[in-house]
């Protein structure tokens, strides 16, 4: 495909297809990036005014014209002239080739072609769904420039890479009001997501109203649940946006809420109370009780009357089988039916569920744990366990989607999510040791704040071409590592993306002993270990054949709500979710991280104005509450230097403190922050440029300005901290940022004039950086890491 496109577009175009693996054109703020973008050699633009008119032909998109006109008015600030019923010369001419059912399906055609010329905008799509996706692209192209409001001349041909591009919202752990759900649907549509996965039940709450089993909402929801009318409203709204709604009712585990309402259906007698703590809990439905299946059948009937999608998610994850093992009647049932173990018992339960779903004309969807060869291949597996689990599913003929690496409740860098390729990848022979190679392998153990330590080994290989390496985590397949750098004769660092996030060991290997830390996201976890005599065997990644890869339908971002309440929803989701959307929509070759961040910044602004997302408004509200004054600038400046502790560090700290429960307030400074500091990312770039060229005055001045601003901010932010007990834990953070700013000024000057530090001064600064890198009040001073680069550059 790329060869033929190149041949047709050689005449001065700017297009992703013009050269293999080319980055998207930076001046077009599009996300997800389309499959094919062509810019004419003679640049130009279509100038708009408030007489903009929209015409739709070929299908009736009820309310779409009004909705899109309102979006244009929001983006431009104009009062648009009254809409014409059927404009003869529309500014935006939308033609749909075929009228189809408004209900989106897995196989809905979402392709479109968009052309902007001096004659106007032509948007052509085979169905309404393509027209909707194309209009989001067009709205992103509307630019308020120095001279006017315009749309650049462009030709776009676009279709999604994957048909399943979903987002999971957890309404069970923290209830999400309907208005917030509808706003997230607007955001999803703007990012071209097409599945809303609605997690409605869990241990801590039952959130949908049942007419047949009313005690569920009466006893197990704290009065926070959705009426059937409200759920139908969500389905109607999503349908208008071309989004499917897949409800999830978690069975047979995560069932504490069911246990409160109907204990007679459980595997242990109870009594049960509302569960307030997070975690994997014991209550399980009783698979040996026929009343259980009547209960499930009735609820599925109620759900299918509300949610028309072909799929219904039954959960099936994290089943603690203790109650099954302890029940004499269940053990007798297993013996009677020749059920070998509790895994087989869950499969028996799922087989019964699958028949019930089939009766209601629905297909089963569930998490990794439901996968079993005794279930039909019509089921769909959602993987939280990773590409190996997904690859196994696909290789055995089952359909699957990926969520590992797309958990947006974890504060992770956007780049980490963006690098997360859907299709399983092989190692390409990187772990094959030849006679020309010199290899060393090291065992490591990394204790965590909760759960067992992470253990494994890594191997570094050297030859005349340089260093390469791979890592073997216990119970996982082998992964290639990147960016190997020896910091000195005995200290090495490298990077690898793991299920925990971006992971960067910084370890000293000396006299067969390993010490140091693993940087997981932005949090340091101590590590120790020893040298191995031989390179471990390792487990190869599971990579299906090209034909089997077709069984992988896409993926879903997930926002679990242990640490997320509705006022924080937009902060946690946006704009990072646009990067996940691009990974699901755009070609695999679109993966330049710097370009992604450039476009993401524009999309961040666009989504707040055009779509109405509240990531910035919500952050201002949280900081205003903490500051007690509208003058929140000191907190905003402090936020430039820090990030929330990444991975599940915050949850694990709460667990250690006994605060891992529903009533733990999400009111800290950390809760008001986005997942990463864009200012620190910019600083990291300035530092790289300055080290590469010490005479780069622009980068040096940018660093000096930032550090000076942080220093001058210290008295103001400390005054705010002293005024609110909820900010008290930030005082050492603010004081450390002040000290680091002074260090930053000193090191910037040293690197700029190519000076060096004495050994004692270097050691003193290193200790201050190490102390400042520790998690405090659930935040991390991320500015430590560009300063660490400056320190190394000034001591070589």
Q: Which residues of the chain have pLDDT under 70?
A: 1-23, 25-26, 796
Amino acid 15: pLDDT: 37
3-state secondary structure of 452: coil
DSSP lists the bridge partners of residue 156 as: 37, 114
> Which two tokens mark 531?
């040298």
Q: Give the residue among 434, 457, 435, 453 at the shortest CA–CA distance from 444.
A: 457
Amino acid 43: pLDDT: 85
Amino acid 26: pLDDT: 56
Contacts of 239 (CB under 8 A, 6+ apart): 102, 103, 104
Contacts of 199 (CB under 8 A, 6+ apart): 168, 169, 170, 171, 172, 248, 250
Return the exposure string of 492-520: e unless at least 16 CB atoms fall within 10 Å of the residue's CB, then b: bbbebbbbbbbbbbbbebeeeebebbbbb
Q: Give the residue among 484, 326, 499, 490 at the shortest CA–CA distance from 403.
A: 499
DSSP for 80-102 reads: PPPPPSS-SS-SEEEEES----S
Domains 2-158 and 438-532 share a fold: no
Q: Which CATH number fits domain 194-376: 3.40.190.120, 3.40.50.1580, 3.20.20.80, 2.60.40.10?
A: 3.20.20.80
643 is catalytic: no
Contacts of 364 (CB under 8 A, 6+ apart): 311, 312, 314, 350, 353, 354, 357, 370, 375, 378, 379, 380
From residue 77, give the alpha-carbon distance in Å to each of 148, 593, 613.
12, 32, 17
Amino acid 5: pLDDT: 29
Domain boundaries of the chain, sorted by first residue: 2-158, 194-376, 438-532, 614-793
Q: How far apart are CA 743 and CA 83, in angstroms?
A: 60
Tell me which fold the domain 438-532 belongs to. Answer: Lipocalin (2.40.128)
Catalytic residue among 110, 179, 290, 318: 318
CB-CB contact of 607 with 190 (8 Å): yes
Amino acid 27: pLDDT: 80
pTM of the predicted model, to two decimals?
A: 0.95
Crossing angle (nearest 10°) for helices 342-359 and 328-336: 80
Q: How far apart are CA 101 and CA 116, in angstroms?
A: 29
Amino acid 415: pLDDT: 98
Q: Hunting for tokens 């204790």 — which residue is that?
A: 447
Amino acid 8: pLDDT: 30
Q: How far apart are CA 774 and CA 564, in angstroms?
A: 23
Tell me which fold the domain 2-158 belongs to. Answer: Chitobiase; domain 2 (3.30.379)
């Amino acid at each position: 495909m790329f060869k033929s496109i190149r041949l047709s577009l050689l005449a001065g175009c700017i297009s992703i297809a013009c050269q293999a693996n080319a980055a998207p054109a930076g001046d077009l703020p599009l996300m997800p990036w389309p499959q094919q973008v062509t810019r004419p050699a003679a640049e130009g633009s279509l100038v708009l005014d408030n007489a903009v008119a929209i015409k739709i032909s070929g299908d009736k998109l009820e309310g779409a014209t009004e909705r899109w006109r309102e979006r244009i008015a929001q983006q431009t600030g104009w009062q648009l002239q009254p809409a014409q019923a059927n404009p003869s010369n529309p500014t935006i001419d939308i033609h749909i080739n075929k009228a189809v059912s408004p209900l989106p399906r897995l196989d809905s055609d979402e392709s479109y072609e968009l052309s902007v010329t001096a004659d106007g905008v032509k948007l052509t799509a085979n169905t309404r769904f393509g027209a909707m996706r194309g209009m989001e692209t067009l709205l992103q192209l509307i630019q308020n420039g120095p001279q006017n409001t315009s749309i650049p001349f462009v030709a776009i041909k676009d279709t999604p890479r994957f048909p399943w591009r979903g987002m999971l919202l957890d309404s069970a752990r923290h209830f999400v009001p309907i208005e917030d759900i509808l706003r997230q649907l607007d955001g999803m549509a703007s990012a071209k997501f097409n599945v809303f996965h609605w997690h409605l039940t869990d241990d801590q709450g039952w959130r949908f109203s049942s007419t047949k089993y009313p005690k569920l909402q009466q006893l197990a929801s704290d009065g926070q649940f959705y009426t059937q009318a409200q759920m139908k409203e969500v389905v109607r709204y999503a349908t208008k946006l071309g989004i499917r709604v897949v409800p999830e009712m978690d069975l047979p585990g995560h069932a504490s809420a069911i246990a409160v309402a109907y204990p007679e259906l459980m595997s242990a007698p109870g009594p049960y109370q509302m569960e307030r703590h997070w975690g994997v809990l014991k209550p399980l439905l009783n698979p040996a009780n026929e009343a259980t299946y009547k209960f499930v059948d009735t609820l599925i009937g109620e759900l299918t009357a509300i949610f028309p999608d072909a799929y219904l998610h039954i959960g099936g994850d994290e089943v603690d089988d203790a109650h099954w093992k302890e029940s004499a009647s269940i053990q007798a049932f297993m013996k009677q039916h020749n059920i070998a173990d509790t895994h087989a018992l869950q499969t028996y339960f799922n087989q019964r569920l699958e028949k019930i779903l089939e009766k209601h004309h629905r297909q089963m969807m569930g998490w990794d744990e439901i996968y079993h060869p005794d279930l039909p291949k019509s089921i769909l597996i959602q993987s939280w366990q990773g590409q190996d689990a997904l690859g196994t599913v696909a290789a055995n003929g089952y359909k699957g989607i990926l969520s590992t690496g797309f958990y947006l409740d974890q504060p992770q860098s956007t780049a980490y999510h963006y690098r997360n390729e859907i299709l399983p990848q092989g190692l390409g022979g990187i772990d094959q040791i030849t006679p020309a190679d010199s290899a060393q392998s090291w065992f490591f153990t990394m204790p965590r704040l909760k759960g067992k330590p992470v253990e494994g080994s890594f191997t570094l290989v050297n030859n005349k071409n340089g260093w390469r390496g791979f890592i073997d985590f216990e119970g996982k397949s082998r992964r290639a590592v990147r960016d190997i750098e020896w910091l000195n004769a005995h200290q090495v660092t490298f990077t690898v993306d793991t299920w925990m996030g971006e992971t960067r060991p910084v370890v000293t290997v000396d006299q067969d002993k390993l010490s140091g830390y693993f940087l997981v996201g932005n949090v340091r976890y101590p590590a120790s270990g020893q040298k191995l005599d031989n390179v471990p065997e390792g487990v190869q990644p599971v990579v299906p054949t090209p034909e089997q890869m077709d069984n992988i339908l896409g993926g879903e971002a997930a926002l679990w709500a242990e640490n997320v309440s509705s006022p924080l929803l937009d902060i946690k989701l946006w704009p990072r979710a646009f990067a996940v959307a691009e990974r699901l929509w755009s070609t695999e070759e679109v993966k330049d991280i710097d370009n992604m961040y450039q476009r993401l910044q524009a999309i961040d602004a666009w989504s707040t104005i055009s779509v109405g997302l509240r990531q910035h408004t919500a952050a201002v509200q949280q900081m205003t509450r903490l500051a007690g004054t509208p003058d929140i600038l000191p907190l905003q400046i402090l936020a430039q230097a820090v990030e929330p502790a990444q991975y599940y560090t915050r949850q694990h700290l709460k667990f250690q403190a006994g605060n891992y429960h529903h009533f733990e307030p999400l009111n800290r400074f950390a809760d008001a922050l986005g997942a990463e500091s864009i200012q620190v990312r910019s600083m990291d770039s300035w530092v790289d440029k300055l080290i590469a060229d010490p005479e780069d005055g622009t980068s040096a001045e940018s660093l000096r300005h930032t550090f000076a601003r942080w220093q001058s901010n210290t008295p103001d932010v400390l005054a705010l901290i002293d005024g609110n007990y909820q900010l008290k834990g930030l005082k050492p953070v603010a004081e450390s940022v002040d000290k680091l700013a002074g260090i930053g000024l000193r090191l910037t000057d040293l690197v700029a004039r190519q000076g060096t530090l004495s050994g004692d001064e270097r050691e003193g600064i290193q200790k201050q950086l190490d102390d400042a890198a520790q998690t405090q009040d659930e935040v991390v001073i991320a500015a430590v890491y560009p300063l660490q680069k400056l320190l190394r550059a000034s001591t070589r």
